[in-house]
DNA sequence: CCCTCGATAGAAAGCGCTTGCTACAGCTGT
DNA sequence: ACAGCTGTAGCAAGCGCTTTCTATCGAGGG
């Protein structure tokens, strides 16, 4: 049998209450007593019973991090950074940061949220783009509201702010979402396209991400805005998922739609890699025949040949900040929302159009 | 306030016991009653209190997946696969699969194990190579033993079997580890080096992973074994971490140690990418001047230019299988151990030495 | 020199759920 | 018509911890 608090108490010749207080360190205990208790804990290999503790204290030390695709470094980097800020704050009770992979499925997102609510999670971080389906958005908002009511701190990272009914300023309703770190996908995308335009490109194809995702839409909007400002007509656009295969296929399709393309902008770096492969397979050279650009600046982008022009998103920093916000270790930005900007990284995959 | 079981019971005009039985579905409840209860649950937006439930039932629905680096797709792919097998088995109570990022730190590994033990996790999956430090190995083994005692099913995935004292056959001691899926790193590495030898390479540099990791050692051993069999003297070897930067630096060092190298074998694909970058920066062409090989066959490897010769590990399949084993959905392999083999993928980054 | 206060420890009442056991129908078989 | 079932529902005793309230002991102040 596993040892219980009572066993430890008996061995240390104190009451269970005292043991609990030693373990939680939120009540004065004489040094000698503490010593004795800790020794007993050690000798019995005692480990607190989490469920019992959470039940009695009405709080738990679980922090959930939801990601859309755990195999994608975009999420891995953010999640890892957040986790590193959450695990073992000094003094505080050790928190258990766990990442939950929704795989982009709305049902799983909701399921995980319910599961986290069931565990009375102390905080929840949602990373990456959201689905734009109104029904789903409402369901998520409702769940988050309930989580927040139960005391969980909610942080959005790389996701647009959630508009909650009845949570406006002055209504006295505490907003469900404690803080939002939103990525400036529009602005980054716009600067990227401006860069391409400056290089002389006029026929630019676009490999977009999955439809109905905020990230996809914002990046497309930035791209179109840049074109509109320059008075350049948009080129062909194909939707796909966020993987290299999709980038490959979509690029072939783009080429079919407009064989005279001089540039391809991809939804992200992974997709861009697929695009490069497709172009090469068609015998086109990068950037001499066609320029290619990605987004995110994942670690491998600099190793592509040629190195990928892209927009760097400070994923690690954003994830870490989200982690701190979830722990209440960092002040909430004014208005609860902070925008994280991307930086244009010009590298070898984009070049001037031929004269 | 959040609704409790009792609230639901009152609303449905039944006893709390009945509500519990409806929710857990492990006791006959008349259809009409069930109906009434479910309606009440719905109307009250009731969500089971996980801690209370776990406490009373002495089990929880948490399943922990430990990974060394969540930003590395090697782990992301396995973890995602495992998670997809764990979330929501039909009929069974929904499990919460969570991934914990140790960052390769032994302390964090132990901390997470303790935290999972505290939560009375239903199962724990440890992925990737282990640290070879005997002290740490013993500590982990002890923790796993305690977890298993508490009813958790332990599965190792991509990690060598754990030798537990006193758990041999016939001792009547239930082994702590339910099942082990071990990767044939030695064999894969050996075949890779044999391929290089067959292409005529005799001066092969090796960029190894972190020291004291089983994966590192096994891959090096396979490499050396192939060389020994062929009567070829080992080339220079440099240790580093599992990232591209490390591959870059180590390759420069290798070149310094032996400028006449004709091939570089890297600890994994990520490292290989760094190696490629270093070679290119030195003005060497791949594979004409120097061949490069990786390991794992991560998705981006096929997009490298030239595409990377590597050893494909069925990460997704292994992760999924680990997930099923953790759920008891799949029979344990004979002896509790199954070896997962890698497949040599010959691509453009390796070629014949010049005549 | 007694009283008050600060510091520390204990008693006990839950926290919300599960589950073994008991209770009570409505039937069946004789 | 009655004992014995089978099928459902309720009772109540915890699960192991936290925390409020109370008790005790010493020390300093009036």
CB atoms within 10 A of CB B233: 9
Mean pLDDT of A168-185: 74
A243 contacts in B (CB within 8 Å)?
Answer: 299
Rounded Cα distance, A115 and A109, in Å = 10
A305 contacts in B (CB within 8 Å)?
Answer: 280, 304-305
Bridge partners, B181 (sequence order): B157, B338
A92: pLDDT confidence band, cut at 50, 70 and 90? Answer: low
Structure tokens belonging to residue B53: 């439930």
Percent of chain A residues past pLDDT 70, beyond the cut? 94
Mean pLDDT of A99-113: 94
Q: Can you say how many angstroms the Cα of residue A267 is from the centroid of all Cα atoms in its chain?
A: 16
Nearest to B83 among A83, A97, A101 (CB): A101
A168 touches chain B (CB under 8 A): no
The predicted-structure confidence for A241-291, as pLDDT tens digits, reads as follows 999 999 999 999 999 999 999 999 999 999 999 999 999 999 999 999 999
> What pLDDT is recorded for position A172?
47
> What pLDDT is recorded for position B170?
47
Interchain proximity B119–A304, CB inside 8 Å: no
Site of tokens 């001066």: B203
The predicted-structure confidence for B227-259, as pLDDT tens digits, reads as follows 999 999 999 999 999 999 999 999 999 999 999
Report the candidate in B299, B290, B291 with the shortest Cα–Cα distance to residue B270. B299
Mutate to test the interface with B, among A87, A141, A294 (most CBs of B within 10 A): A87
CB atoms within 10 A of CB A4: 16
Mean pLDDT of A152-177: 73
Chain A window 192-231: which residues touch B at a Cβ cutoff of 8 Å?
none
A83 contacts in B (CB within 8 Å)?
Answer: 70, 100-101
DSSP string, B182-230: EE-HHHHHHHHHHHHHHTT---EEEEE--TTBHHHHHHHHHHHHHHHHH
B69 touches chain A (CB under 8 A): yes
Nearest to A80 among B61, B71, B277 (CB): B71
Question: Are the C-beta atoms of B341 and B191 separated by less than 8 Å?
Answer: no
Rounded Cα distance, A37 and A28, in Å = 14
Please give, rounded to a whole number of angstroms, the shortest distance from the CA of B56 to a CA of chain A: 9
Interchain proximity A2–B97, CB inside 8 Å: no
Residue A176 has pLDDT above 80, yes or no: no
Interchain proximity A100–B101, CB inside 8 Å: no
Strand D footprint, Cβ within 7 Å: A 2, 4-6, 16-17, 20-21, 23-24, 26-27, 48-49, 52-53, 55-57; B 13-18, 28-30, 32-33, 52, 55-56, 58
Say whether B185-313 and B5-183 share the same fold: yes
* Predicted TM-score of the model (pTM): 0.93
Spanning CA of B16 to C1' of D4, the rounded length in angstroms is 30
> What pLDDT is recorded for position B98?
92
Bridge partners, A310 (sequence order): A345
Residue A193 has pLDDT above 50, yes or no: yes
* Size (chain B), residues: 355
Nearest nt (C1') from B53 Cα: C17
Spanning CA of A19 to C1' of D25, the rounded length in angstroms is 20
DSSP string, B276-339: HHHHHHTT--TTTT-EEE-SB--GGGGGSSSPPBEEE--HHHHHHHHHHHHHT-SPPPGGGEEE
Q: Return the higher-pLDDT residue of A89 and A7.
A: A7
The predicted-structure confidence for A7-51, as pLDDT tens digits, reads as follows 999 999 999 999 999 999 888 899 999 999 999 999 999 999 999
Chain A nearest-CA residue for B115? A96
The predicted-structure confidence for B276-323, as pLDDT tens digits, reads as follows 999 999 999 999 999 999 999 999 999 888 999 999 999 999 999 999
Torsion sign over Cα A54, A60, A66, A71: negative
> What pLDDT is recorded for position A321?
98
Report the candidate in A112, A76, A92 with the shortest Cα–Cα distance to residue A300. A76
Site of tokens 């479910």: B38
Residue A173 has pLDDT above 90, yes or no: no
Q: Can you say how many angstroms the Cα of residue B31 is from the centroid of all Cα atoms in its chain?
A: 44
> What pLDDT is recorded for position A56?
96
Chain A window 287-346: which residues touch B at a Cβ cutoff of 8 Å?
299-300, 302-305
Instruction: Name the DSSP class of A138.
Output: H
Closest residue (CA) to C1' of nucleotide D10 is B15
Interchain proximity A119–B51, CB inside 8 Å: yes
Mutate to test the interface with A, among B62, B108, B119 (most CBs of A within 10 A): B119
Please give, rounded to a whole number of angstroms, the shortest distance from the CA of A230 to a CA of chain B: 33
- Strand-by-strand arrangement of the A263-266 sheet: A237-239, A204-208, A263-266, A291-293
- Strand-by-strand arrangement of the A153-157 sheet: A337-340, A177-183, A153-157, A123-127, A62-67, A96-101, B96-101, B62-67, B123-127, B153-157, B177-183, B337-340
Spanning CA of A253 to C1' of D7, the rounded length in angstroms is 64
CATH code that applies to domain A5-183: 3.40.50.2300
Please give, rounded to a whole number of angstroms, the shortest distance from the CA of B225 to a CA of chain A: 31
Closest residue (CA) to C1' of nucleotide D20 is A17
Note the strand C nucleotides within 7 A of protein beta carbons: 7-12, 14-20
Interchain proximity A244–B299, CB inside 8 Å: yes
B347 touches chain A (CB under 8 A): no
A350: pLDDT confidence band, cut at 50, 70 and 90? Answer: very high
CA atoms within 13 A on the CB side of A329: 18
pLDDT profile of chain B (355 residues), mean per 10 = 92 96 92 95 96 94 96 97 80 80 94 95 96 94 93 95 60 70 98 98 98 96 98 97 95 97 97 96 96 96 92 98 95 95 98 87
B185-313, what's its fold?
A: Rossmann fold (3.40.50)
Interchain proximity A55–B51, CB inside 8 Å: yes
Domain boundaries, chain B: 5-183, 185-313
Rounded Cα distance, B52 and A53, in Å = 9
Residue A155 has pLDDT above 50, yes or no: yes
> What pLDDT is recorded for position A355?
63
Grouping H, G, I as helix, E, B as strand and the rest as coil, residue A220 is helix
> What pLDDT is recorded for position A276?
96
């Amino acid at each position: 049998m596993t040892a219980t608090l009572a066993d430890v108490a008996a061995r240390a010749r104190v009451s269970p209450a005292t043991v609990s207080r030693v373990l939680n360190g939120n009540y004065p205990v004489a040094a000698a007593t503490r010593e004795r208790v800790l020794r007993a804990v050690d000798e019995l290999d005692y480990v607190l019973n989490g469920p019992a503790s959470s039940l009695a204290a009405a709080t738990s030390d679980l922090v959930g991090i939801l990601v859309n695709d755990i195999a994608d470094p975009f999420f891995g980097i953010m999640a890892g950074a957040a986790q590193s800020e959450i695990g073992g704050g000094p003094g505080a009770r050790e928190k258990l940061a766990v990442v939950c992979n929704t795989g982009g499925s709305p049902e799983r997102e909701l399921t995980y949220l319910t599961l986290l609510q069931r565990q009375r999670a102390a905080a929840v971080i949602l990373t990456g783009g959201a689905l734009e389906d109104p029904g789903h958005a409402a369901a998520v908002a409702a769940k988050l509201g309930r989580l927040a009511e139960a005391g969980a701190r909610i942080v959005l990272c790389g996701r647009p702010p959630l508009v909650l009914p009845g949570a406006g300023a002055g209504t006295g309703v505490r907003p469900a979402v404690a803080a939002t770190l939103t990525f400036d996908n529009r602005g980054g995308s716009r600067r990227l396209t401006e860069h391409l335009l400056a290089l002389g490109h006029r026929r630019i194809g676009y490999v977009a991400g999955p439809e109905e995702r905020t990230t996809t839409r914002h990046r497309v909007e930035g791209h179109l805005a840049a074109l509109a400002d320059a008075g350049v007509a948009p080129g062909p656009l194909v939707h796909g998922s966020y993987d290299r295969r999709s980038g490959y296929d979509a690029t072939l399709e783009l080429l079919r739609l407009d064989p005279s393309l001089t540039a391809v902008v991809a939804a992200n770096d992974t997709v861009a890699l697929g695009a490069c492969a497709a172009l090469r397979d068609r015998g086109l050279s990068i950037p001499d025949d066609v320029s290619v650009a990605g987004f995110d600046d994942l670690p491998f982008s600099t190793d592509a040949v040629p190195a990928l022009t892209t927009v760097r998103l400070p994923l690690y920093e954003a994830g870490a900040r989200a982690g701190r916000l979830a722990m209440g270790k960092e002040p909430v930005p004014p208005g609860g929302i902070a925008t994280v900007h991307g930086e244009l990284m010009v590298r070898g995959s984009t070049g001037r159009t031929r004269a």
